[in-house]
Structure 1
């Protein structure tokens, strides 16, 4: 099947739409996004004639390089690692999500992160609840519903770029039933 080329209007609409989309799992590489010219700039663009078709061409220097998305780090510096491992880390704020419905837990998590960021908190303890001890037949353990969704919620959160790291909590703070969210400082 032969593909047709997008018209200038269609291309402008597609570019505007593409800019509003956020990937579910952002990568750390830079993405080149063509800049959308304004209507005034379109009027001033040179017209290229050839092969019976007339089209407007933006100058080649109109490309914007988007900065790489910031993702949580798997390992922090040695000071943070030592404090997490030994349990001497002290959460500045905590939120307990277990016992809530998925939608209520998701909303409370976003509210807690927003509140922590406005108060410039560095360590947020999120209690999700431990996985069930008995998984029924077969003995295979399954994760709790909130625990299973929290990774996706954090990746797609509007605050994802402000999360420096996500770590399992020390047994003193809940162990497998809780996580630490280490938040980035304000710039």
Structure 2
């Protein structure tokens, strides 16, 4: 079996560690292990350049209920937050289980976006206080799903005391002009 050699860093660490240790009476300090021979330096490895990939558009920033999103003017945000923007559609999720509510919410939001609707209200209910209901806690996660996030511009409760409903401002549909 071949003896393992210590690296120069290990040797330096061992010497620093044992420098202040006194040997027991009648014993001597063991000799330092031999230093390994200096290794020949290898030429630097050249890495082949990787072909550049087309730049992907950055994903939209995360939606947080009640926080001003980027790209939305103050007047429109204030109207959404106060509930002044009349919802064109409303989805009431009361009494649904989370998995079913998630599927219904996704279908509702995709349909609204396809129809060019700009404002919708999603009613989750307040749930048991103080932590709120499961739907109320899950809605922000649903809004930030990769296929849902590009549809939503902003989200706000229509009134500070009504945490059981959320007004959503949807992005305008892009039309291909050709």
Whether the TM-score (by the shorter chain) exceeds 0.5 is yes
Q: How many residue pairs are counted as aligned between the two chains?
A: 126
- Give 1:184 shift: 0.4
TM alignment of 1:40-59, pairs within 5 A: none
CA RMSD, 1 decimal:
2.8
TM alignment of 1:22-171, pairs within 5 A: 60-71=50-61, 72=63, 74-75=67-68, 76-133=72-129, 141-170=130-159
Q: Deviations over 1:93-132 (max 9, x none)?
A: 1100121001110000001001101110001100000132
Distance 1:130 1:176 in 2: 6
Gap runs ≥5 in structure 2:
1-42
- Which entry has the higher C-alpha Rg, 1 or 2? 2
- Give 1:60 shift: 4.3
Q: Where do 4+ consecutive residues of structure 1 move more than 3 Å?
A: none
Distance 2:150 2:59 in 1: 7
* Counterpart contact for 1:95–1:126, Cα < 8 Å: yes
- Give 1:148 shift: 0.9
User: Against the structure 1 CA distance between its residues 111 and 64, is the aligned structure 2 distance closer, same or farther, given a 3 Å change threshold?
Assistant: same
- Give 1:62 shift: 2.5
SS of 1:176's equivalent in the other structure is coil
Give TM-score, length-normalised by structure 1: 0.58
Report the structure, 1 or 2, having the larger helix content. Answer: 1
Report the structure, 1 or 2, having the larger strand content. Answer: 1
- Give 1:61 shift: 4.7
State the match for 1:138 in structure 2: none
- Give 1:78 shift: 2.1
Give TM-score, length-normalised by structure 2: 0.61
* Counterpart contact for 1:92–1:124, Cα < 8 Å: yes
Distance 1:113 1:129 in 2: 18
State the match for 1:11 in structure 2: none
